[in-house]
Amino acid sequence: MHASKTMETWVGLFVAAGLIALFFLAMQVSNLAELHTAEGSYKISAHFENVGGLKVRSPVSVAGVKIGRVSNIGFDSQTYEAVVEMTIAPEYINLPVDTSASILTAGLLGEQYIGLTPGASDDYLKNGDELELTQSAIVLEQVISRFLFNKAEGNGGKTSQEGGAE
C-alpha cells in the first residue's frame, strides 16, 4: 500500500512537470513570452495595400536579424489601406528615413513578417515616423490564379499569325 502511494505521487509530479514544460514551449512558439517592450523603444508605421496573413507580434527584421515586432494592424478609411504599426528595439535607432518595408513569408508556407531594407539617407527614423516605400504581401492564391488565367488565355485563342492563310 505504501509503495502504491509513493508511485502515484511520483507519477503526479512527472505529469505536472510535463504540463509545465508544455506551457513554456507553447509560450515560446506563440511569441507571447516577449510581450513587454523595452525602455526607449520607438514606433514607426507603414501603409500596405494588402497585409495577407500578417499578425500582431509578427517579427520585424533587417537582414534576417529581428529588430522589433508588429504592435498594431489597423485600417485607414481615407486611403483604404492597412496601417501597420511596428515597435523597434532601442538599439536600432539608426534606421535611415528612406528605409523600405516589405511583407515577406518565412519559407513557402511559413508565417509572414516585415522585412526592412535600409536606405542611404543621413537622417534617421524617430518615434511616430511613417515609412513611405512599402511592398504588400504576395498572396499565393492570387499568384496561382493569375498564372492559370494567363495560361488558359494564351492557349485558348489563336493569334492572327497562327490562323493566317495557307
User: Residues 6 or more apart from 141 whose CB is under 8 A from it?
Assistant: none
> Mean of the per-residue pLDDT values for the chain?
84
pLDDT given at position 160: 46
* pLDDT tens-digit map of 26-74: 877 765 545 456 677 899 999 999 898 899 999 999 998 999 999 999 9
Pairing status of strand 81-88 against strand 42-48: antiparallel
Query: What nine digits make up the cell of 76?
Result: 485607414
pLDDT at 136 over 60: yes
What span, in angstroms and rounded, lies between the C-alpha atoms of 125 and 153?
A: 46
What span, in angstroms and rounded, lies between the C-alpha atoms of 159 and 12?
A: 76
What span, in angstroms and rounded, lies between the C-alpha atoms of 31 and 33?
A: 5
pLDDT given at position 150: 84
Under DSSP, is residue 25 helix (H, G, I), strand (E, B) or coil? helix
pLDDT at 114 over 60: yes
pLDDT given at position 35: 47
pLDDT given at position 96: 93
Pairing status of strand 112-117 against strand 59-62: parallel
pLDDT band at residue 1, thresholds of 50, 70 and 90? low
What span, in angstroms and rounded, lies between the C-alpha atoms of 8 and 83?
A: 55
User: Percent helix, strand, coil in the chain (nearest 5)?
Assistant: 30, 30, 40
pLDDT at 98 over 50: yes
Among candidate residues 58, 49, 61, the one with its CA nearest the CA of residue 110: 58
pLDDT at 152 over 60: yes
Terminal-to-terminal C-alpha distance of the chain: 100
Domain boundaries, the chain: 1-30, 37-147
Q: Tell me the mean pLDDT in the region 5-16.
A: 90
Q: Which run of H or E residues covers position 29? A: helix 2-30
Percent of the chain with pLDDT over 70: 86
pLDDT given at position 86: 94
Q: Is the pTM of this model over 0.75?
A: no
